[in-house]
Amino acid sequence: MTEGPGGQSLGRRAAAAAGLFLLLLGLYSFLMPPVLAPYRDAGELACDVYSLGVPHPPGYPLYVLAGRAFSALLPGAQDWKLNLFSAFAGAAAPASLLFVLSRFFPPAAALAAALLLGLNFTLITVSGVSEMYSLHALLGVVTAGLAFWAAFDPRPKKIFLLFFLFGLFLANRMDLVLVYPAAAALLWGPARRALGPRFPRILPVCALFFLAGYSLYLYLPVRSAAGPFLDWGRPSDWGNFWGIITRRSYGSTLDLISTNYASGELFAVNLRHYCLHLWSNMGPAALLSAAGVYFAWRRSRPVAVFWALFFSLSGPLFLFLANMPPNPHALAVVEPYYLLPDIAAAWWLAEGLAGLWALGRPAAAAGLAAALVSLVFFGIPSARKADRRGMFLTADYAADAVRPLPPGAVLVAKKDVQLFSLWYYQMVEGLRPDVRLISQGLSGAPWYRDAWSRREPGFPVFDLGSGGAGSWAAAGRAWKGFYATGDCEVPDGVPTRPLGLVMAVYPPKGLEPPASPSDAYSHRWELGRPFPDFFAKDVVSSYARGALAAGSFHASAGGRKAAAAWLDYAAAAEPELPETGLYYGFLLSAEGDWAGAGARFKASVDGYEKLLALAEEYRSLPDLKLGLRRSSAYAWLNYGVALGKTGDRDAAEKAYLRAAARNPGLAEANYNLAILYWNRDRDRVVRELSETLRKDPSHAQAAHYLRQLRPSNK
């Protein structure tokens, strides 16, 4: 294996890498949110770093301890410091790659590849959130750099250090192990040739050094034994700890939703989305990367094999194992894992540029032009799209959620971003410490109940996830002031009253939602503003759905003005929410405005049809698609009523037939068809009424009218 024509001194390479680091650190710091980012597990990990708790498996001890050390060096709020920590790690990844690339390639090729990686939307995104993903990207680059460093001079001390660091790096994210076979393939030949008969003897020592690095996971049982409130999985129990470090406790899948699909069923569609990700971030440079695979093979077979393994194991193989459906939530979960194969793509970009330049000036000019086009029209727009300046979503959500709660209330929350934001602002920032915040998903976990028994002996925690209505009823009797966020799954029969972002459970008599959204919401984001990722949109969706519930309540109670205010807010916050048009249609139909109601019902119909099409595209589970079809049928039914009231009978019939097609068990569709044909086609009326009773034998009106018609047919 030989070096390329980079030809730069160590000092110049280090200076260039430092310059790129400072440039990207400034960019990432400028674009990152000023508070806790609305991103997957950011709130939980910020709490874990602050309290030195035990995060969800596999525990991420390297991130927790490194984040704690970094935040101890700076003044300011914990969320901002951890966002900055991610910015440091994220900026260091392309800078480190530039340092490695410039050993092999001309400066311009190395810089173009590293800079385009630095402008990667996904890297910028994770470089402003309190999660381990940007550190993961950095460790991926360092892994490659260390593999080259050791392969060029495979002395035992270097190899031992390499294995120690490889074990240590897994304490950030275990899936980094996917790129270790590439490092082993690169190192194996040079080490065997250099060490000769000593090579087999150093392998057991390498394993010991690897375990020494991996031993950072001992933080989990040690810290768990001290009894922190966040003690996920209770790894002080050695059986639990063994399940974590061997992945037995959470398997090889990325998310439990993937277990609903056959192995490899979603591989092709996931690979397609990764290719779209590459194009959106690299543009024409992605074609240069493809050419770089060929040039790498011609230049150095060991290096080509290294990057082929690095890419294929961390990219396609990972996507095959993850097997996630292509819906926005699942794609947002998978997206940070694109960064490891993106590193290989950046390397191949440098290979492609260097290979074209070696072919002569015309090829070099074409390669340079493609790189510049990619930087200007793909890289810079990616950075602009990742802008989170002024995003106070999590802080506003937490404040608005606890605003209506009386002193000493119990608040149950479910979704990750919403729950973890509440955790952070209560545990770290001291927001409403009197409120007892319960996780619905964790409420049945023994470790979580034990944590509550240590925090507040005698306070009962009920299984509100799988315990059913009985557990909710028991909680209603035991807790004074029982509330839940709107994303919670409340069993049928449990009474609730919407109040905005939260709802009162077993509400006291006379409790009503505020008359206006401005009385419940005080967020700083503008309605209709585009947001950069799924998780931010999901927080906004919580506001919209809370407004929808409040508007529905006021509409049913006859409060037309208050209902309209809430429903207008819901429509502005999340225009694609089909339920808003449905409830607004009810509101207008109650006033006799059937033309206006028809327009709203049509918007609801269109919304559900779009969701049904997306459900097919996203490979959604059958239960979800069934629920959407039933909701769509109900929207078509009401749209048909509005059309009938405005005299468009033909369109009304088509709407009822579409409702029946969407939900074959919907008796009201046949009943409405009977009414539509009353005094027009007696046989058709009889058939539709008979079909109504077949679907719903308890339909009293259909039975009444059918008795009236049948004697006349004798």
For the chain, which ranges sit under pLDDT 50? Answer: 713-714
Question: Rounded to whole angstroms, how far apart are CA atoms 398 and 389?
Answer: 19
Please check whether residue 374 is in contact with residue 469, taking contact to mean a CB–CB distance below 8 angstroms: no
Question: Rounded to whole angstroms, how far apart are CA atoms 22 and 605?
Answer: 51
pLDDT score of 38 = 96
Instruction: Give the predicted TM-score (pTM) of the model.
Output: 0.94
pLDDT digits (tens, 9 = 90+) for 624-646: 999 999 999 999 999 999 999 99
Taking alpha carbons only, the member of 587, 592, 582 closest to residue 565 is: 587
Please work out, in degrees rounded to the nearest 5, the angle formed at the alpha carbon of residue 245 by the alpha carbons of 239 and 248: 70
Gap between the terminal Cα atoms of the chain: 97
pLDDT score of 245 = 84
Question: Rounded to whole angstroms, how far apart are CA atoms 418 and 299?
Answer: 51
pLDDT score of 243 = 87
Please check whether residue 601 is in contact with residue 582, taking contact to mean a CB–CB distance below 8 angstroms: yes
Contacts of 301 (CB under 8 A, 6+ apart): none
pLDDT score of 252 = 56
Please work out, in degrees rounded to the nearest 5, the angle formed at the alpha carbon of residue 485 by the alpha carbons of 481 and 486: 130
Taking alpha carbons only, the member of 194, 128, 598, 619 closest to residue 394 is: 128
| Tokens (6 digits) for 379 | 């890289």
Question: Rounded to whole angstroms, how far apart are CA atoms 374 and 113?
Answer: 11
| Tokens (6 digits) for 339 | 């960064």
pLDDT digits (tens, 9 = 90+) for 333-345: 999 999 999 999 9
Question: Rounded to whole angstroms, how far apart are CA atoms 497 and 594?
Answer: 29
Query: DSSP readout, 504-560?
Result: EESPPTT----SSGGGT----SPTT---SSHHHHHHHHHHHHHHHHHHHHHHHTT-H
Please check whether residue 109 is in contact with residue 125, taking contact to mean a CB–CB distance below 8 angstroms: no
Query: DSSP readout, 171-214?
Result: TT-GGGGGGHHHHHHHHHHHHHHHHGGGHHHHHHHHHHHHHHHH
Residue indicated by tokens 């590849």: 113
Question: Rounded to whole angstroms, how far apart are CA atoms 616 and 603?
Answer: 20
Please check whether residue 485 is in contact with residue 502, taking contact to mean a CB–CB distance below 8 angstroms: yes
